[in-house]
A and B are shown apart, each in its own frame.
Chain A
Amino acid sequence: MLLAILLQAVSEGAGLGIMGAGIGAGLVALGAGLGIGRIGGSAMESIARQPEAGGKIQTAMIISSALIEGVTLFGVVVCLLIAIA
């Protein structure tokens, strides 16, 4: 099934680049999901252990998710440029 789709994409030629953008977007979402999910999970755990430090943990959580998101968005922009161009 997958092979057939791949073969068709190769025979069409131009579609391959678009497919790359789609796969890239999927991988980007996977990476960001894993990264931010881990941060969120750990933050939840730490807040549950130490509710009084909740504010500080939340700030640190937002900063590190923003940093991960920044790298993710580089990938998204690349995919977008492939898809549009």
Chain B
Amino acid sequence: MKRLFVLLFSFLTLTAFAEAPEEGGEFQPGDMITHHIADDYTWHFADGAVVYLPVILVDNGEFKVFSSHNFYNEHHETVAYDGYALEHGHIVKVNEAGEPLEDHAGLYDFSITKNVASMFVSVALLLGIFFVIAGRYKRNPKAAPRGIQSFFEPIIIFIRDEIAKANIGPKYERYMPYLLTVFFFIWFNNLLGLMPGGANLTGNIAVTLVLAAITLLITVFSGNKSYWKHIFATPGVPTWLAPIMIPVELIGILTKPFSLMVRLFANITAGHIIILSLFSLIFIFRSVAVGPLSVAFATFMNFLELFVALLQAYIFTLLSAMYFGGAVEEHDHAEDHH
């Protein structure tokens, strides 16, 4: 067991720097970090272990599918292919000379990027694990949990009892599928992002935007009469204040998911940046003496990130449940608002 840990640590510390700076060039920590946290058309595990992911383009209604390997020549320089080229991590149209065109109308990029591929991995993992668990409960609901089921049952019970029941109330069952899905999706993807060579999926603002938007839609569509009454005619507030109160309340609907989005994005991205910065120190000082210190700090940060991965999944689920609870809550007592 101890040997396994040692192996794991050396692996964790090695692969973060599998991509060595180009020979002769000055080491740029900023470039290295942005490259690691950004989305990409290739999945770079280590030098020599690169997966070139498919590029799928829709150009004015015409499908184009080819490997992103075509964008790189044998010296790892980017080249144009079939009228397209990579520019600052995006695909643009180019002319024969390889210069980007001004007009990109009608070009849509549906490529399987690193983040999308990583999401597929996590979805396969989630489906695999939870179909097994759900199948066992269906077949014999009275039996004691066994195997992987015993690991996940307390977590599911925790989400049901401490998050859903405590914050939503009697109508909690309708929201359980979403809460469980979002919890395990965020948690699994946070953990996959911490793996060596992992993609920074939950640290991508587009992904967190979609998650927060789903929470917003569920909140708005499950809002009952008293929820909307509190927004458009807040009890206990004089009518002449309505021109101020209604815009504030409407903005309030949007700021909740907005903060969900930024919280998850910034937490995960910040964790990645801190770990990569600690490793960069070795290369900035160009000294072996900095190595052990930097590795010790980075290991500590990695453990902290393991905790943050769980905490952020918990916070996202908890706050979503609180927003749903606020939307379905029944206000029978008028005296509550005095």
Contact residues of A with B, CB < 8 Å? 59, 62-63, 66-67, 69-71, 73-74, 76-77, 80, 83-84
Contact = CB atoms under 8 A, between A and B. Distances in A.
B318 interface: yes
B318 A73 contact: no
Interface of B: 30, 34, 162, 166, 259, 262-263, 265-267, 269-270, 273, 311, 314-315, 318-319, 322
Contacts of B162: 59
A25 to B, nearest CB: 10
B130 to A, nearest CB: 26
B259 A76 contact: no
Contact of B262 (A63, A67, A74, A83): A74
- Most chain B CB inside 10 Å of its own CB: which residue of A62, A66, A67: A66
B262 A77 contact: yes
A73 B315 contact: no
Nearest to A77: B266
B30 A73 contact: no
Contacts of B265: 77
Contacts of B315: 62-63, 66
A68 B189 CA distance: 24
B263 A70 contact: yes
B324 to A, nearest CB: 15
Contacts of A66: 263, 315, 318-319
Nearest to A83: B30
12 contacts: A62-B311, A62-B318, A63-B315, A66-B263, A66-B315, A66-B318, A73-B263, A73-B266, A74-B259, A74-B262, A80-B273, A84-B34
A6 B303 CA distance: 38
Nearest to A62: B315
B259 A70 contact: yes
Nearest to A75: B266
Nearest to B318: A63
Contacts of B270: 73, 76
Contacts of A84: 30, 34
- Most chain A CB inside 10 Å of its own CB: which residue of B34, B166, B259, B273: B259
A69 B265 CA distance: 12
Contacts of B262: 70, 73-74, 77
B28 to A, nearest CB: 12
A73 B34 contact: no
Contacts of B318: 59, 62-63, 66
Contacts of A80: 269, 273
B281 to A, nearest CB: 17
A18 B266 CA distance: 19
A41 to B, nearest CB: 20
A69 B162 CA distance: 22
A74 B263 CA distance: 8
Given A62-B315, A66-B319, A76 B266 contact: yes
Given A63-B315, A63-B318, A80-B269, 18 more contacts: A62-B311, A62-B315, A63-B319, A63-B322, A66-B263, A66-B315, A66-B318, A66-B319, A70-B259, A70-B262, A73-B267, A74-B262, A74-B266, A76-B266, A77-B262, A80-B273, A84-B30, A84-B34
A59 B259 CA distance: 19
Contacts of A63: 315, 318-319, 322
Across the A-B interface, the 7 shortest Cβ-Cβ residue pairs = A73-B266, A70-B259, A66-B315, A70-B263, A77-B266, A73-B262, A76-B266
B89 to A, nearest CB: 13
A66 B273 CA distance: 20
